[in-house]
Amino acid sequence: MSASRLRLGVNIDHVATVRNARGGGLPDPVRAALLAIEAGADGITAHLREDRRHIRDEDMARIRREISKPLNFEMAATDQMLDIALRTKPHASCLVPEKRTERTTEGGLDVVGGHDYLVPYVDQLKRGGIRVSLFIEPSIDAIDAARSIGAPVVELHTGAWCHAVENGETEKADHEFGRIRVAAARAAQVGLECHAGHGLDFATARKIAALPQIVELNIGHFLIGEAIFIGLAPAVRQMRAAMDEGRRQAVAGA
């Protein structure tokens, strides 16, 4: 397994959250996307939620038109989102579960129970030339189910791990990181490209970068929060450096 450079996808949803708090057009999420790319992001991630609470249809269209790096379009598996994705033609679509009452994407997709429901969405996105990933819990069962659904990529939900780290729950954090390690290894074993995201900060990104099977991290909330204090470009550059350092350690220890 070659431990190549880890890609950073910057999620700009919460620039739109701040904009929408006031109405009007500022701050502009597309400006944030362009700045993040200039600072070293390898791609831009945006989630068009059913309730349009942050990113809106016209944001997605503008991001697609104006950025020079791949767009990862996060979406629920619904007919409306499928139609928009097929028209937008992003580089990738990440299928996520969506509940109107949640504040953020709280868990992974039910890829075991939802197998038959998800297959046609994955098929149609693939036929549209879009690389599909499934946002899943870090478990062997979920990896195997994702593979049987036919997605070439999985994104492991790192929320439970990051939450435990943030709360100082060391044992739980170790347990959750162990699940991510095992799931990443399984993904590689069955030929799936492995991404990860949710709740990552500089320290957790550095640590997870040491897992050589993971090729992409998608990070939003922390970076947009840091941008308030140090600016978006420095935050992206610092994240890039943390990821590169974590990966270097993995290569050195291999």
Please list every residue from 148 through 207 that binds ligand PXP, using CB under 6 A. 155, 197-200
* Catalytic residue chosen out of the listed positions 54, 74, 137, 216: 74
Provide the 10 A C-beta neighbour count for residue 191.
Answer: 8
Please list every residue from 124 through 143 that binds ligand PXP, using CB under 6 A. 135
Secondary structure of the chain: what % helix, strand, coil (to 5)? 50, 15, 35
Count of residues interacting with ligand PXP (CB under 6 A): 19
Rounded to an integer, what distance in angstroms lies between the CA atom of residue 83 and that of residue 81? 5
Q: Does 226 bind ligand PXP (CB under 6 A)?
A: no
Q: Say if CB 130 and CB 90 are below 8 A apart.
A: yes
91: annotated active-site residue: no
171: annotated active-site residue: no
Nearer to ligand PXP, 126 or 163 (CB): 163
Q: Does 121 bind ligand PXP (CB under 6 A)?
A: no
* Catalytic residue chosen out of the listed positions 54, 157, 195, 198: 198
Give least dist CB 172 to ligand PXP, A: 18
Q: Does 44 bind ligand PXP (CB under 6 A)?
A: no
Give least dist CB 220 to ligand PXP, A: 3
Nearer to ligand PXP, 3 or 218 (CB): 218
DSSP secondary structure string for all residues of 122-189:
HHHHHHTT-EEEEEE-SSHHHHHHHHHHT-SEEEEE-HHHHHHHHTT-HHHHHHHHHHHHHHHHHHHH
Q: If we measure between CA atoms, which residue out of 231, 234, 208 comes closest to residue 155?
A: 208
Name the strand (E) or helix (H) holding 194. strand 193-197
Q: If we measure between CA atoms, which residue out of 197, 251, 171 comes closest to residue 43?
A: 197
* Catalytic residue chosen out of the listed positions 14, 47, 54, 195: 47
Rounded to an integer, what distance in angstroms lies between the CA atom of residue 70 and that of residue 7? 11
166: annotated active-site residue: no
Nearer to ligand PXP, 82 or 252 (CB): 82
Give least dist CB 254 to ligand PXP, A: 27
Phi/psi of residue 32, each to 5°? -65, -40
The set of catalytic residues is 47, 74, 198
Residues that bind ligand PXP (CB under 6 A): 11, 13, 47, 74, 94, 96, 104-105, 135, 155, 197-200, 218-222
